[in-house]
Chain A
């Protein structure tokens, strides 16, 4: 039972935080869109015309949900991620005692970073976050000369389901080893190799997009760290908050409770400094300090220096990954959790009588919950499980039948806007879920709108289609869409009506297109599906169209898969003899 305590405690907190999201159905919140069966498709390899933002997470989910139903898989991922985060933080301070462990675990699981990233649906980033304590512990062992590279490779793979996640995990591992100096040169080299290998799919897909991988520089100000309530951006960031999207900030962070929370975190962490310095060697301290410093700098950079960061984002391919800089705050969380845990233990130990010391330790350890109570019960109702309407399944069947009849090509999802607020999702904002529900590659808008300001996307095909929708109609539009590889057009009628109600029913956005020669495959209350006649999708103008690029991309996937398989195999063969020896010892042989 004692050994299970970290997992049991973390599980209790995870269930308390997720609440109704664990009920029957799917959780759709901003960028988190799970469907019953995500079909494996070429774009998930990074073959599409859009930037590989969901590589390799989409492919991993598409493969796993062939074995585990999507609904169950989503719950397992959400709960498992939080449990791993809590147990990892517990282990970080295991030597400092139970009070420190409970405090660190609670802090790591219940803080603004977790609540805000869960609210905006960045579940792959939360997987990275969950892996960081484990990666840190392995880095220390590796730097000490222990042979645990296979474990590190597997944790890096787990943490690298998104480009930013891969960078954050990679930085944590490589910086943590690099600070060990010459003694860990070889280990650092291996870690760099492992980071490159497990991130190869999105790295190569991004490189193949070339100059198209630069983003809009002006968007840096929109996505930079923001203040919360009376806390300015730098103070919000110090408390692991400061996300750009005010909609997902817990209300408690915008009141004076947020100020109290920050002050308490700083005071308790300061109290833990001495204990940490005494207990950990210089190498171990630097392995937490350096990544934390990098994380804080990147998190605040967009707010304090939007000009230089904007230049980077607008000129250097891939630099757009630092646009939403507070994602890098994950790098600072393990350090804060360790200091918080040790600080709580130190303060409790300073009380001479046992019972009051236990009371103080318990109370302090639980303050993260007390000061952000609205993170409980599905982030106070922001997360909930819902069922998909039957219309989506009918549309899926219609497209699947058409594909079985020999039609090929992509789906165009309309209205041509990125986000929706479906009534069946109780009006919660979500990335357009229709394309993911259908069994073919799809083209959706990648333009983002933040407080009415448009942030242009990077996909040239999406730009061309938006122009075609705005300027063409009838046969001309059908031909233009077919030339872009579109075979099916799906219109979300509810979203179209919502846009029209706001006066946003311009052809480029929301109005139902005139497609006189197209065949109606399905027409329900919520969705309509057309098949463009006489044209077979010519294929997207992405890396898939170039055999050499395709070969390189497949090579990158093989490299990642090979690294993971080799690590798993190595781990398996190393454990088998160990188990055999263990059994023989017990038999007395």
Chain B
């Protein structure tokens, strides 16, 4: 490599890495947003339990 010139190999690797990181970041950000929204909007709705129950092992109805 000539001094002062760009190392293209490093540059391309950085570009690819950066794109991968940004894509993963965007996917996770989208997952988070959708996850939060779906979590908040689908509060668990177990069948009503008696006041004396320890809990229920019946799954929440979505």
Contacts and interface: CB of A to CB of B under 8 A. Distances in A.
Contact of A255 (B18, B22, B38): B38
Nearest to B35: A257
B18 A451 contact: no
* Chain B at the A interface: SS class: helix
Given A450-B53, A452-B50, 6 more contacts: A223-B57, A229-B62, A245-B57, A246-B44, A255-B39, A504-B50
Nearest to B18: A356
B43 interface: yes
25 contacts: A30-B54, A222-B57, A246-B44, A246-B59, A247-B49, A254-B42, A257-B39, A352-B16, A353-B14, A353-B15, A353-B18, A356-B14, A360-B24, A370-B32, A373-B32, A374-B39, A419-B51, A419-B53, A429-B54, A449-B53, A450-B53, A451-B47, A451-B49, A502-B50, A509-B52
Interface residues of A, number: 55
Contacts of A355: 18
A207 interface: no
Interface in B15-47: 15-18, 20-22, 24-25, 28-29, 31-32, 34-36, 38-40, 42-44, 46-47
A252 interface: yes
Nearest to B11: A353
Contacts of B57: 222-223, 226, 244-246, 450-451
Contacts of A367: 28
A420 interface: yes
Most buried by A among B21, B24, B49, B58: B21
B44 A249 contact: yes
Interface in A355-407: 355-357, 359-360, 363-364, 367, 370-371, 373-374
Nearest to A415: B52
A245 B24 CA distance: 34
A47 to B, nearest CB: 25
Contacts of A363: 21, 24-25, 28-29
A418 B52 contact: yes
Given A371-B31, A450-B56, A450-B57, A356 B17 contact: yes
Interface in A466-515: 495, 498-499, 502, 504, 509
A416 to B, nearest CB: 10
A504 B50 CA distance: 9
Contacts of B38: 252, 255-257
A352 B7 CA distance: 13
Contacts of B36: 373
A417 B62 contact: no
Nearest to A455: B54
Given A371-B32, A450-B57, A420 B51 contact: yes
A103 interface: no
A260 B32 CA distance: 11
B55 A246 contact: yes
Contact of A352 (B17, B31, B39): B17
B52 A499 contact: yes
Contacts of A498: 51
A270 interface: no
Contacts of A373: 32, 35-36, 39
A222 B16 CA distance: 51
A200 interface: no
Contacts of B24: 360, 363-364
Contact of A356 (B21, B50, B55): B21
Nearest to B32: A370
Contacts of B51: 417, 419-421, 495, 498-499, 502, 504
A348 B24 CA distance: 11
A448 B20 contact: no
Given A418-B52, A499-B51, A229 B59 contact: yes
A450 B55 contact: yes
A196 interface: no
Nearest to A350: B17
Contact of A419 (B13, B15, B32, B54): B54
